[in-house]
Structure 1
Amino acid sequence: MPEVAAAHAEVREVLGVPTDRAVFEPLTHNPANGVTAGVWRVTGGDRSAVLKVLTRTQETGVAWSASNDPRHWNFWRREAYVYRTGLAGVWQRHGIRAPRLLECVERPDGDVALWLEDVPGQPATAWPLTGHVDHAHRLGAAQGAVGPGEDAPWLSQSFLRDRTSGKTTGEELLDDDAAWRHPLIRRHFPPGLREDMLRLHLDREWFLTVMEALPRALCHLDQWPANVVSGGPGTSVLLDWAFAGDGALGEDLGAYLPECVLDLFVPAADLPGLAKAAYDAYVHGLRGSGWRGDERLVRLGVCASAVKYDRLTALMLARADEEPVAYGGEGTVPAELRYREGGLALAFLAEWAAEARMLAPLLGFPEAPSGR
């Protein structure tokens, strides 16, 4: 691979070993994302580092293409800026840090090589429920203390709107009788889910408008268990800052919790209890760090985040005849498991959406169109 070949010239400086002693182990990542040429654990002697190569030349689909616009959600150089400016350390005193930047190399071909600390902690994909709750508390403390942060010109804007609007696969199936009669769907999507998800889709613009009017926070915008590692007692290490930017207070938590179930790290049956405990911990963290706003706005931010998963129902309907692929394209997962857990998670998100519709008018927002 050209990315690996180019890295050999950087190994001696980062790891202090001859280039021929370096071992490159590919790490799981999203291969469809056009900004990532690859991610490797590089080992030399008794030292190791993670190499992530940022690019704008990788061929991929339109949905994941790299952008040169610094405000675009997939701006290809953003993560380099996050590390170089020290923004990745902005939450550190509240218990959330990023891997240490060892070296940032501007390569002759235009790519950027990020050499990062190889964090040895346990990934959140294997945490008990209490681990996720503790992370939620740290996240609340961090976002309550730091607030929106400085408006650096390369931080993403309109992430939720652009990501939601750009995912349209299967939208025509949301009210298609045949799609909802598929055996997998009939077995695993609870009664009433069709109406709830169609309503969420029809209300999408309302949800996005609400999210954009809520109190702002510096958000990571890609928080899910595969991007979080234990950093020792009371510390989370947050990976992959490529989407970082402006978001609503509560938006990061509103994405993290469903992802625990949708990617099969937490049983769907545990989601209601986890969501309550994590939300309470997040608010406790906010209050503990000095945030004095109306808690109902935070709750609305979490619940209205359900709009992010408007796309998921349509996607599951469209792919009901395909074998589900695991994250990163590494193997498959049983379709029965994926659709059972996914159906329960979507039903939970429908409850969040319903709560958001009831809460928003109490806070001065217009009623959702479907609620009039």
Structure 2
Amino acid sequence: MSEAPTTHSPQLGDEVRDLFRVPPERAVFEPLTHNPKNGVTAGVWRVTVAERSAVLKVLTRGKQTTEIWAASEDPRHWNFWRREAYVYEEGVARAWEPWGITAPKLLASVERPDGDVALWLEDVRGEPATGWSTAAHAGHARRLGAAHGRALAEQTEPLDHPWLSRRFLRDYTAAQTTGRDLLDDDTAWQQPLVHDHFPEGLREEMVRLHHEREWILRIMESLPRVFSHLDQWPANLTAPHSGQSVLFDWAFAGDGALGEDIGNYIPDTILDGFLPAARLPELATAVYEGYVRGLRDSGWQGDERLVRLGVCASSVKYDWLTALMLSRAGDAQQLDYGGSRTVEAEHRYRERGVVLAFLADWAREARGLATELGFPH
């Protein structure tokens, strides 16, 4: 997590004064969990002055990081550094508000002299999705399905501002190369954490998924298109009121396939430990059924097999995760998302092994549906 910025900075001091109408030294900065590797994020903080608070997120393009997470100047790139500012400034983050999915209010967007952009956002309080029941996850999926379904039923063109991402799934997965050479390495698969905790047969299935990556990506790119968040998971959601979802972190938003958002949501809920892997089938069924119900509620009458294909073929997004797990199986210290705490390695590999096996089942189902629907191999 990022260290608290100094209020001795004239620029930050001015921002605090403008927003809170108090001297900047009265502000308390609390770092919030985020991906510290991402080159577009200089930091995220909850800023509190007495009884008032706001969230400060600073977007940058000058942060030193790995090549994978480097900020891009290309407005269509999945990691375009300024996208989230545009999403808030242009009101795109509230596109799904009629269906109960909204975003924090933008309080201020400040172009700083050093080229960074400071987003001052409403500090939304509610029930974080990291603690939601299965029914609550399904409710969010139903709201999302209703938003997608209405756009498809009315044959509305997906939102297409020049700074929204395109080819997210293809380009994001292509960038994640760590450990890829280990997929066919016998020694890597014999490491104790892998050998003892990955299910039998997983190697063959995940190697096949990797080799079929291009075909599956072409399938995803040919499915009905919908405006998508592309980073939906419980850490980016809260519920201030029953029947309402508030989504954070719109940095990847853009063009996606029907079903792609929940194809990310379901596995990520387990991969980062918000629910145990034993609950994955229950969660997957509830979220999928909620999404389809929302699609139908809003008037979409399309072939449900296309929805199912979009969800199952989303398994290709996790092609890189198997390789990453192989590369880190010898690490003495395993860190959580955000890198602030250690996690128990055997538990992580056991739980993620279950998820990877589940994704292998999705890939098998996607192959069958693609053949049934006439997608050429």
Does the pair score TM above 0.5?
yes
Counterparts of 1:135 and 1:187 in 2: how far apart (Å)?
A: 36
Residue 315 of structure 1 corresponds to: 324
The answer to whether structure 1 residue 145 and structure 2 residue 155 are counterparts is no
Counterparts of 2:361 and 2:305 in 1: how far apart (Å)?
A: 16
Deviations 1:127-160 (A, max 9, x none): 1222211111111111112355331100000000
Residue 155 of structure 1 corresponds to: 164
Residue 75 of structure 2 corresponds to: 70
Residue 345 of structure 1 corresponds to: 355
Q: 1:145 to 1:231 in 2, by over 3 A?
A: farther
Tell me the TM-score normalized by structure 2.
Answer: 0.95
Q: 1:105 to 1:341 in 2, by over 3 A?
A: same
Counterparts of 1:26 and 1:168 in 2: how far apart (Å)?
A: 30
Counterparts of 2:6 and 2:235 in 1: how far apart (Å)?
A: 23
Counterparts of 1:125 and 1:154 in 2: how far apart (Å)?
A: 30
Structure 1 portions without partners, runs of 5+: 368-372
Q: Percent identity?
A: 65
Shift of residue 69 of structure 1? 0.7
Whether the 8 Å CA contact 1:3–1:38 is kept in 2: the answer is no
Whether the 8 Å CA contact 1:3–1:53 is kept in 2: the answer is no
SS in 2 for 1:113: strand
Q: Note the 1:5-20 alignment, pairs <5 A.
A: 5=9, 6-20=11-25
Whether the 8 Å CA contact 2:158–2:225 is kept in 1: the answer is no
Match of 1:53 among 45, 58, 65: 58
Structure 2 portions without partners, runs of 5+: none
The answer to whether structure 1 residue 43 and structure 2 residue 43 are counterparts is no
Shift of residue 3 of structure 1? 7.1
Whether the 8 Å CA contact 1:197–1:310 is kept in 2: the answer is yes
Match of 2:270 among 261, 282, 295: 261
Counterparts of 1:353 and 1:15 in 2: how far apart (Å)?
A: 51
The answer to whether structure 1 residue 96 and structure 2 residue 101 are counterparts is yes
Whether the 8 Å CA contact 2:5–2:29 is kept in 1: the answer is no
Whether the 8 Å CA contact 1:122–1:229 is kept in 2: the answer is yes
Whether the 8 Å CA contact 1:169–1:318 is kept in 2: the answer is yes
**Which residue type is aligned with residue 31 of structure 2?**
P
Q: Note the 1:152-231 alignment, pairs <5 A.
A: 152-231=161-240
Q: CA RMSD in A?
A: 1.2
Tell me the TM-score normalized by structure 1.
Answer: 0.96
The answer to whether structure 1 residue 242 and structure 2 residue 251 are counterparts is yes
Counterparts of 2:351 and 2:41 in 1: how far apart (Å)?
A: 29
Counterparts of 2:284 and 2:265 in 1: how far apart (Å)?
A: 10
Aligned length: 367
Shift of residue 17 of structure 1? 2.3
Counterparts of 1:149 and 1:15 in 2: how far apart (Å)?
A: 37
Q: Note the 1:263-302 alignment, pairs <5 A.
A: 263-302=272-311
Residue 305 of structure 1 corresponds to: 314
Deviations 1:314-372 (A, max 9, x none): 100110011211111111110011001000000000000000000002112024xxxxx
SS in 1 for 2:63: coil
**Which residue type is aligned with residue 109 of structure 1?**
D
Counterparts of 1:111 and 1:354 in 2: how far apart (Å)?
A: 45
Residue 132 of structure 1 corresponds to: 137
Whether the 8 Å CA contact 2:216–2:313 is kept in 1: the answer is yes
Whether the 8 Å CA contact 1:11–1:17 is kept in 2: the answer is yes
SS in 2 for 1:321: coil
